Every structure is written in structure tokens, then in C-alpha cells.
Structure 1
Amino acid sequence: MSEQVDQPVDQQVDLTTIPIDPTGDKGQDSPADRDDELITVFHNKDNFNVKHPLQNKWTLWFTKPSSGKGDNWNDLLKEVITFNSVEEFWGIYNNIAPVSELALKSDYHLFKEGVRPEWEDPQNKHGGKWSYQFKEKRNVDINDLWLHTMLAVIGETLEEEEDGEVMGVVVNVRKAFYRIGVWTRTIGKSIPGRGDGDVAGGKGRSVEKGQRILHAIGKQFKEILKLPPSEVVEFSGHTDSAHSGSTRARSKFTV
């Protein structure tokens, strides 16, 4: 009997149909129609009239498996939806396939609005990523780990507000492993050509400070993944990965 992740992509949830409004159409009066009471999603998960905005807008992307017929990366990568509130996040999350049910060679990407989950994107090309592979797939609750990784990134808890390093998070579904990664804007060095107005990697940040910020992100990421001290999370630069032709480029540092 084959594993569930081997099912054809066309049997997955159609991501283009994800509703941005988690209330749906109930065919009844909603508290949102009343002006005398403020109701949040924590009071009523179906009917509420108050939203909790996020600090940034975020876009969910999906990479479908290649057909093996020379598919172009841009044809496989699909932009799904952009959201900017807690309520919209849960409405989306509750209507997409969990990671454990995705076909092999599928990916979810959750990035700041305007940033494509690609090495070549102008906001990624000087950066890198923290990543960890879970090789014992049957013993890993990948859905819970991915959920908490997303909550950390949209909740801005992976870094300090002024750091401005985190670009997005990625989960890869492969035959031999699951991999979760956190993409950063720099590799701990200033970005050439950036002005003082750019928060991340701008003028005035020393290499030592940049690397301290990245190490702090790595340590927080390791805690979210619930890894023991003996396990190693690696950081590598996108440029090195591109030159090596692999997402498993030699690590620059570890936590």
C-alpha cells in the first residue's frame, strides 16, 4: 500500500480556491452586521467582526511536483494568496492540504508580500537560509512543526523588529525527508548598494552584529523545531547553493 504523499497532485486541495474570508456564507445574520458588540475570532470562530492585523502582509506559494517533462520552475511555482490578519491566516490554513498529505516533490512557501521564493529575487539574492532535514518521516509531526514555523514568522518572533532579516519560510516534501527552512535577506554582511534607509544589511551594521542576528534567528528556529542540543541546524548562502547546483550547499555556520 503506497503512502498518502504519493497520491497524484490533482487529488490535492485546489489551492486557487482557498477563501480569504474564514466566515464563509452561513446564510444567517452575522455579528459583523451588528454595531453594538465587538466579537473576535477567539469568541466565535465562524462569525466575528474584528480582525487582528499582522505587522506585514504575507503570501503563500505552492510548488507542485514536476511531471518529468522538462517543466520550467516558473510553471511549477504558483502564487496562492496574500493575507494580512490572524483571521485570514487561519481561514487559509484550515482550507489547504496539510504537509503530510502533499505529493512528493511539493513545497509550501510563506514569504513577505512582494518577495518571490527564489534565489534570484532581488531581496533574496544576497541572503541565505537556516534549514533542517527530518529523515525519520514517520516519526515526525511535520504538520505541527510547519504550523508553528509559520506562526513564528507571521508573528515576527524569529527576530527583533529592527533586524529585518527574515524573508520567509519553506517546507519541502521529498521521498527520503521533510525539510523546513527560514530564508534571510543577508548572510550577516552588509548588502552592496543599500542605503541607510534599508533596515536589513544597511550601512552601519558590522559583520559581527549581522552574524549575531543570524545566529539568534537560528537558535529560535531550532527551538521551534523542538530539536535536542545534539542536532545541528545549518545556515548556507543562496549564492553558494546556486553555484553548487543544490539546496545542500556547504554550511557557513551552525547552531
Structure 2
Amino acid sequence: MDAVSIPTPQHSLNDKWNYYFHLPHDKNWELSSYTVIMKDIDTVEKVISLNETVNDNIIKNCMLFVMRVGVTPMWEDPRNRNGGCFSFKVSNKVVPEVWRNLYYALCGETLCIEKKYNKHINGITISPKKNFCIVKIWLDTSNYQDPNIICNISNLSKQGCLFKKHEPEF
């Protein structure tokens, strides 16, 4: 008797996400300078697989971006330009845990305390510094500048969080 192949059920996300990488010392900020790690992340299984694959050292030492499909990781993007970001300083000791938890909450559309805010979240980014990283949550609007719209993430302190408008010059 032949073995029966049983397909693994997939659990769809509400939206699709792209995961990008950019070298921290690369001064080229054209879209072509970003490397796509994974496109069209659309299932819980893909989210988990990728989150478990990305090494702690990559999280602490590289620039990573997770953006909704259709939104580039650039503040000049039409869906980013009128928005801004919450900016958090996170110690390298806890940044891998914080990044992974943020990534899960982002892709699961549970990053905000109220559902109505989630649709305004375009993505998350991480940028390495010497002993810490800057983690940002990008929004498509600057109407919501209170970090208390973000749910509590372990080791992500809202104290000292800054909201920065993108406001590119055109």
C-alpha cells in the first residue's frame, strides 16, 4: 500500500507582508539596494518559519523591514509619506525577542490595542546602533501619535518612545 500524502493546512493572514534586508553601512537608499528575504508572506506558517530562521545576530546587526505588500520600505512611498513612525530604543540584550514579538503581532494584525488602528500600520523596521537598536513602527498617517495605541510588547518600553513624521521634501 502506498503512503498517503496529507496536505498540511495553511492558516491565512488578513494581509500579505514582505520582509526586506538592507546593509547598515550601505549609503544607497534606492529601492534596488534592499534585498527581499521573503515576498508575499500570507500564512501563519510562513510567519513562524521565517521568524524561527532569522538569526539573533542578523536581528542585532542588520537593517530589517517588514512592510505590507504594496508599501516599499521607504518613507517617500506614497503610502508612507503622510505618515510617521513610533521610534523605540531597545537594548541588544532583548532586541531579538522584541523584534520577533513585534513581527508576530504585526503579521497577525494584533499590534494595536484597538482593531481600527491596525489598518494604519504599514510595517516595522530595525536599525542597529552600538549597544542597542532603533525599532520603528511605521504608520500611513500622523493622526495617531500616542504610543499607547500599541499593545504591550515585552521589553518594548513606551517611555521615551518618540513619534516622528516622515514629511519628505518634494
What TM-score range do you get, normalising by the shorter chain? 0.7 to 0.9
Q: TM-score, normalised by structure 1?
A: 0.57
In structure 1, give the amino acid aligned to 2:66.
L
Cα separation, 1, equivalents of 2:25 and 2:127? 13
Structure 1 residue 153 and structure 2 residue 106: aligned? yes
Give CA-to-partner distance per residue, 1:104-140, whole Å, 9 cap, x none: 4x21111101110111001000000001113x43xx2
Structure 1 residue 223 and structure 2 residue 152: aligned? yes
Q: How many residue pairs end up in the alignment?
A: 163
User: Do the aligned residues in 1 keep the contact of 2:59 with 2:96 (CA within 8 Å)?
Assistant: no
What's the offset of the Cα at 1:152?
1.0
Tell me the residue number matched to 1:233.
161
Q: Which has the larger radius of gyration?
A: 1
- Structure 1 pair 228–91 and aligned structure 2 pair: CA distance change class (3 A): closer
Identity %: 23
- Provide the secondary structure at the position in 2 that maps to 1:178: strand
Cα separation, 2, equivalents of 1:81 and 1:228? 29
In structure 2, give the amino acid aligned to 1:238.
H
In structure 2, give the amino acid aligned to 1:233.
C
What's the offset of the Cα at 1:97?
2.5
Cα separation, 1, equivalents of 2:60 and 2:106? 24
> Which of 142, 162, 171 is the matching residue for 2:95?
142
- Structure 1 pair 125–225 and aligned structure 2 pair: CA distance change class (3 A): farther
> Which of 1, 19, 22 is the matching residue for 1:63?
22
Tell me the residue number matched to 1:174.
129
Tell me the residue number matched to 1:251.
none
In structure 1, give the amino acid aligned to 2:36.
E
User: Do the aligned residues in 1 keep the contact of 2:60 with 2:95 (CA within 8 Å)?
Assistant: no
Tell me the residue number matched to 1:247.
none
Cα separation, 1, equivalents of 2:82 and 2:46? 31
Cα separation, 2, equivalents of 1:237 and 1:113? 22
Q: Relative CO higher for 1 or 2, CA cutoff 8 Å, sep ≥ 6?
A: 2
Tell me the residue number matched to 1:96.
54
Structure 1: segments with no counterpart, 5+ residues: 1-28, 35-47, 189-210, 244-255
What's the offset of the Cα at 1:102?
5.2
Cα separation, 1, equivalents of 2:104 and 2:35? 21
Structure 1 residue 130 and structure 2 residue 86: aligned? yes
Q: TM-score, normalised by structure 2?
A: 0.83
> Which of 84, 88, 113 is the matching residue for 2:42?
84
Structure 2: segments with no counterpart, 5+ residues: none
User: Do the aligned residues in 1 keep the contact of 2:24 with 2:127 (CA within 8 Å)?
Assistant: no
